[in-house]
Structure 1
Amino acid sequence: MAVVKSPLSETARTVTGEALQGALVDLVDLSLYAKQAHWNLVGPRFKVVHEHLDEIVDLARQAQDDVAERAVAIGVNPDGRSRTVADRTEIQQLEPGDLADDKVVAAVADALFEIIGRFRGRIAATGEPDPVTQDLLIGITADLEKQHWMFRAQA
């Protein structure tokens, strides 16, 4: 099996790989988090919030694929296994059972805010070692910030 030769120095690859792995964990868990809320949502705004949660899932799934493929392109193996995500996630998990629409809106907005903060840290960390990865993270952050604004507007 051929290993991708990295265009980055070992130090740059390590820093960038860590940023991409952290982003991958956030995005995989965000997609699961939004689906959990989607399935258990109740309340008068069910339909609007239910459909909006699918937008979050779609965004997270596309972004996690982009992040994982970027990692491979620089010679880093992404780890999106369920145990890895469960062990490393920093997202405050939802309660089991029915979830009121107003509480879901607030919880998703809070989760997005936390993830955006970590993404902004990764943007700063990758500026020097790998501006290509930084650009990818900037684009994903812009999408996350748009969704954060949309969920905050519903609160």
Structure 2
Amino acid sequence: MTKNSIRSPLTSPLGDGERDVTCHALQATLLEMIDLHLFAKQEHWNVVGPNFRSAHLQLDELVSTTRDFADDVAERMSALAVSPDGRSATVAQGSGLHHPHAGWRTVEQVVDDVVAALSEVVHRLRARIDETDKTDQVTQDLLIQITASLEKARWMWQAQQQKK
């Protein structure tokens, strides 16, 4: 609890240990969903070249998906009586997501960036699914839903990669 925050008026349906493990997984996921949304928007603004429009629109889909998931994750944390922290400084410090380069990016570069970012996030989400198996199956189910959606998005992006 910080100097200007209040004591939680909420109680958790989980025990302290279960809540701590579960909310640690949720907080990490929240940071990644916020960062992934910003990552996709940065790419969206800077993509150029052949197939620009398709990539531009597909990036908007990823932005929308990750924004919605961020909200779902934050609300799950609140339901467990833990305050979610989605402040920009917290995201910048805690996400760990590889960021795209600044400036204009070709569609091929953007596709490679997005596949790498989604692969990174999916790998971490799968570990969190295992971590929450014994602590909170409701949260585990949410993480499974997020992972399934991002794995589908990864497939859609990966199908566009140039063979090297």
**Same fold by TM-score greater than 0.5:** yes
Deviation at 1:36, TM superposition (A): 0.1
> Is structure 2 residue 86 aligned with structure 1 residue 88?
no
- Match in the other structure for 1:113: 119
- Using the size of structure 2 for normalisation, the TM-score is 0.93
Distance in 2 separating the partners of 1:127 and 1:4: 24
Which range moves more in the overlay, 140-149 or 87-96?
87-96
Distance in 1 separating the partners of 2:33 and 2:41: 12
Write out the 4+ residue segments of structure 1 that deviate beyond 2 Å after TM superposition: none
- The partner residue of 2:45 within 30, 39, 44 is 39
The one-letter code of the counterpart of 1:118 is R
Distance in 1 separating the partners of 2:74 and 2:95: 16
- Match in the other structure for 2:3: none
- The partner residue of 1:97 within 103, 123, 126 is 103
Deviation at 1:90, TM superposition (A): 1.3
- The partner residue of 1:5 within 11, 22, 37 is 11
- Match in the other structure for 1:77: 83
The one-letter code of the counterpart of 1:96 is A
What are the ranges of 5 or more consecutive residues in structure 2 without an aligned counterpart?
1-5
Larger radius of gyration: 2
- Using the size of structure 1 for normalisation, the TM-score is 0.98
Alignment size in residue pairs: 155
What are the ranges of 5 or more consecutive residues in structure 1 without an aligned counterpart?
none
Deviation at 1:127, TM superposition (A): 0.8
Distance in 1 separating the partners of 2:10 and 2:126: 27
